[in-house]
Amino acid sequence: MTKREREAWREQQAEFYVSGVWIDCARAYRDAHPLCERCLKKREISPSEQVHHKIRLSPENINDPMVTLNWDNLEALCDKCHKAEHRKTRETRWSVDEDGRVTL
């Protein structure tokens, strides 16, 4: 992905995450899932603070409501679990920019 494509993708993501449809969906999901779903699996209690997409959003699926707004693709997480998930995916995601440098 070129620098220009990355910038366009970041802008597209930002527009999605401030859209009324996403805000309403995320609010409803958190209302239905007030506790972190991953902590609950470990028999811990933590309030949910983020709504996470299990299938990572991409330029190819950002306009597909079956990915972006489908509750089957969402997970209510506490900040700690959400940060851990994104650290994990950052460690495995990399690309090479137009100058041949590795980027995350």
Please say whether the beta carbons of 57 and 68 come within 8 A: yes
The average confidence (pLDDT) of the chain is: 89
For the cut 90, the answer to whether the pLDDT of residue 91 exceeds it is no
Q: What is the pTM of this model?
A: 0.79
First CA to last CA distance, the chain: 11
Query: For residue 38, what pLDDT band results from cuts at 50, 70 and 90?
Result: very high
Mean pLDDT for the stretch of residues 55-78:
96
> Rounded CA gap, 59 and 2, in Å?
13
